[in-house]
Amino acid sequence: MRVPLSWLREYVDVAADATPEDVLAALVTVGFEEEDIHRFEITGPVVVGEVLAFEEEPQKNGKTIRWCQVGVSPSTGSGPSTGSGTHDVRGIVCGARNFAVGDKVVVTLPGAVLPGPFPIAARKTYGHVSDGMIASARELGLGDEHDGILVLSELGIDAPVGTDAIALLGLDDVAVDINVTPDRGYAFSVRGVAREYSHATGARFRDPAERDFAELQPGTGHTATVDDVRPIRGKVGASEFVTRVVRGVDPSRPTPPWMIARLALAGMRSLGVLIDITNYVMLELGQPIHGYDLDKLTGTITVRRATEGEKLTTLDGQERTLHLEDLLITDGSGPIGLAGVMGGGTTEMSGSTRNVLIEAATFDPVTIARTARRHKLPSEASKRFERGVDPLIPFAAARRVADLMVELAGGTLTDEGGALYTDVVVEGIELPAGFVPGLIGVDYTDAEIVGALEKIGAEVTPSTGSGAPGWLVIPPTWRPDLTDKWTLAEEVARIHGLDRLPSVLPVPPSGRGYTALQQGRKRVADALAAAGFVETPSFPFTTEEQNDLHGSATGAHLPSIRLSNPLDGQAPFLRRSLIPGLLQTAHRNISRGLVDLALFETGAVFTPQEGVAYGTDFIPPLALRPSDETLAALNASLPPQPRHVAVLLTGGITPRQPGRAAEPADLGDALDAIRVIGAAAGVEIDVTQTHRAALHPGRAGVLTVRGVEIGYVGELHPEVSADADLPGRAVVAELDLDRLLGLAGERVVAESLSTFPAATQDVSLVVGADVPAADVRAAIVEGAGDLLESVRLVDDYRGEGVGEGRKSLSFALRFRAPDRTLTSAEATEAKMAGVAVAAERFGASIRD
């Protein structure tokens, strides 16, 4: 929320010498976050000038300029005069023609800097030296008007020549910008921020909504009706609808500069005096306002839900197909606005508007929030309604708009209008004595507790019902976030300063910590990081094409889950694999010159089951803890979300250095990463050749642990790499980390080291070229028995000497006994037992 300080000072006593930084510091003490300070990008000299004379000079390009003599400051010497004294006169070239001799204008003199930045200097143009510039509203940052220069008399301003125009037009104002959390919607107004500044400093607050209630009565003849046959959560879409009528407005009147300046500092541009007034009051009081061209309305106004297939063209020119939950403002012609979000184009105020119907309403926050998100139409109005608007403010806001339309647009306030409203009842909250100090950890006195709650506008009375000491607290109507004793305790702590909270490090109970699964995940991530990989978390959103291409880690064919309200419309599906995210990260880094990459990610993937519907429209009450049955139903609406780990390598695994060329990452480096993961998990991972659509044929492997598939490894298919804009070879691996750790068991037990020497032997077996080396290795392990400590594939030979369609697999074997030194004969016997199993299963023979 951006709040101009001049506006803030109208409703709270801000010290004259207080800087924007001082104001922000005060607001921080009551729980706001400071964002920024906003100023107009303009420096002087910028003064009021008077046009003393001009000559029109046609140019060869068809344009006619005016060579003007402009008085910019009083002078004691002689000089041109128009009856209003003598002046310091400047010659200025001007292309506009909407002024006359004697008009007061805004003159930017050499040395001034206008928004842009646009420095002003004396310069030769059209055969003259122009000693400054006569400014338009757009050049000063006061709107988009650029058809002519700013004539002060048209704005009702009469100031002496030489007056500082920056201060005159409010361009010396400054705005503080604070971050407003979703639970404090009342602070989306100058009224709310002024009240909070009063809480922080003790300065006197003046409520702009405080008026004689008799002045706020809207009259009759335009009372709306609410026909909500499908309320959400049992709440009717509109609980209050106030209308007032102002006739005879002149929309061509200019918005005064002070209002334009305040709107600009608050982040809004000027759109004409009528719309500017409604926006101004919304910022001032926090009540969104909508104005209708009364002459375009047909019949009476009705608030209702949309019907099937109904459409509405909103003020932004978009035709929108409406949802049955959408709350509409309608008249006899049909929908004329999305309630609380945006008005319709058919009844908007325009340059021909003469009579205005003002609407100030209270709408259901959930309804407005859903409509705004459904139509991707966030607005300043919806931002306030979905956080909760003070239900007592519509009457005052409607009258404030009417008064400004009378004052600034020349209208006449009539006794026409209407008011549909319900009684506002705020439930009291029991606050036991001692609860606040016990929760916050500060010894607040009863007077401090009551004083803080009364300061924020709550009504506090001693409890009488339960017999226990305490208070009954009725929160103010503008604080719908105060719903229980815990939120009241937070308010006491906030008002008295969070700096009073003690800094005490909590002592965790013994016997707790990471679960076995969490420990395993952490070991794997730490091991990969120690091996030189960089962890790169990514969003879990992707396309259906990427899901189908990369599938799941175990190769299962699964459907994709589409989000109903995705952050990115081009990636609306939940990922089934981590590889698409790693590909995006690799592309982003390569485009920035980082081409040697070793990346990994651990994260959840979404593995829906075929034929199961996920998601729910049910929203449990937020004020109550859901029952076990409700939690079970909500959990059942979510798909399984196992955690995976994936790695990607591309570019060089080792950089080029003197005497050694760079070594590109290849499949062997991905297999090394698999070994790192297996060691951290405490299991041995086997690799068997396989085929996957996204991987290079012949360079893909399936990963298993004791026969259970847990993932895959391989080199990306060249076409997949090219589609991801990767310049060269990339290798990847992905494993179901939860399944892997489950196979490892809860504890990783280190094997004892034998003190007896090992016996090493090699064996080369000739098998069919289509026999996976991993299967041959498994056969050797099974046959060799417990004496075999390790077996490692060291060569895969295909060529002369082994026959067509055959290959020779060489394995390095290491044998060891826990209780003795093995003889060569014992090691050979165990080796041959393994060869026998391989021969039986695959026809393996020892290579000569």
Q: Residue 182: what pLDDT?
A: 86
Q: Using 50, 70 and 90 to split pLDDT, how confident is the model at 372? A: very high
Higher pLDDT residue, 782 or 87?
A: 782
Q: Using 50, 70 and 90 to split pLDDT, how confident is the model at 842? A: very high
Distance CA 292, CA 782 (A): 85
Q: What is the mean pLDDT of the chain?
A: 89
Q: Residue 556: what pLDDT?
A: 65
pLDDT at 243 over 90: yes
pLDDT at 83 over 60: no
- Strands (E) across 583-657 are located at 597-604, 643-650, 652-654
Rounded mean pLDDT, 547-564: 78
pLDDT at 15 over 80: yes
Residue 49 token pair = 């000038």
Q: Residue 79: what pLDDT?
A: 39
Nearest to 259 by CA among 243, 242, 282: 282
pLDDT in tens, 674-727: 999 999 998 889 888 888 889 998 899 999 998 899 999 999 999 999 998 898
Nearest to 710 by CA among 745, 739, 752: 739
Residue/partner pairs of 146-152 with CB below 8 Å, 24 or more apart: 147/96, 147/98, 148/96, 148/97, 148/98, 148/99, 149/94, 149/96, 149/98, 149/99, 149/105, 149/106, 150/105, 150/106, 151/98, 151/99, 151/103, 151/104, 151/105, 152/48, 152/103, 152/104, 152/105, 152/106
Distance CA 323, CA 327 (A): 9
Amino acid at site 356:
V
Residue 156 token pair = 């009702």
Rounded mean pLDDT, 420-429: 87
Q: Which of 170-179, 326-335, 501-510 has the lowest mean pLDDT?
A: 501-510
Greatest Cα pair distance, the chain, in angstroms, is: 127
Q: Residue 501: what pLDDT?
A: 86
Higher pLDDT residue, 709 or 141?
A: 709
Nearest to 282 by CA among 206, 385, 150, 375: 385
3-state class (DSSP) for residue 75: coil
Q: Using 50, 70 and 90 to split pLDDT, how confident is the model at 87? A: low
Between the alpha carbon of residue 52 and those of residues 46, 57, 124, 159, 773, the distances in Å are: 18, 17, 21, 16, 99
Q: Using 50, 70 and 90 to split pLDDT, how confident is the model at 827? A: very high
* Dihedral sign computed on CA atoms, order 781, 787, 788, 789: positive
3-state class (DSSP) for residue 364: coil
Q: Residue 749: what pLDDT?
A: 65
pLDDT in tens, 743-795: 887 565 667 788 899 999 999 999 999 898 888 999 999 999 999 999 999 99
> pLDDT > 90: what percent of the chain?
61
Rounded mean pLDDT, 291-319: 91
Q: Using 50, 70 and 90 to split pLDDT, how confident is the model at 81? A: very low
pLDDT in tens, 253-262: 988 989 999 9
Q: Using 50, 70 and 90 to split pLDDT, how confident is the model at 88? A: confident
Distance CA 88, CA 535 (A): 69
Residue 839's contacts (CB-CB under 8 Å, 6 or more residues apart) are 845
DSSP string, 190-215: HHHHHHHHHHHH---B--TT---GGG
Q: Residue 746: what pLDDT?
A: 57
Distance CA 393, CA 322 (A): 29
pLDDT in tens, 277-294: 999 999 999 999 999 999
pLDDT in tens, 497-543: 888 888 888 787 777 788 888 999 999 999 999 999 999 999 999 99
Question: Tokens 């922080």 label which residue?
Answer: 200
Q: Which helix (H) or strand (E) holds 631?
A: helix 628-636
pLDDT at 322 over 50: yes
Q: Residue 155: what pLDDT?
A: 83
Residue 805 token pair = 């369609």
pLDDT at 661 over 70: yes
Q: Residue 466: what pLDDT?
A: 60
Whole-model pTM? 0.67
pLDDT at 84 over 70: no
Rg (CA), the chain: 38
Q: Using 50, 70 and 90 to split pLDDT, how confident is the model at 625? A: confident
- With contact defined as beta carbons under 8 Å apart, do 39 and 174 qualify? yes
Nearest to 155 by CA among 258, 234, 25: 258
> pLDDT > 70: what percent of the chain?
96
Residue 186's contacts (CB-CB under 8 Å, 6 or more residues apart) are 192, 195, 286, 388, 390, 478, 479
Cα-based angle 174, 178, 180 (whole degrees, multiple of 5): 145
Q: Using 50, 70 and 90 to split pLDDT, how confident is the model at 216? A: confident
Q: HSE on the CB side for 663, CA within 13 Å?
A: 8
Q: Using 50, 70 and 90 to split pLDDT, how confident is the model at 553? A: low
Between the alpha carbon of residue 177 and those of residues 2, 28, 194, 350, 498, the distances in Å are: 4, 11, 13, 31, 21
Question: Tokens 């060269």 label which residue?
Answer: 728
Distance CA 237, CA 325 (A): 10
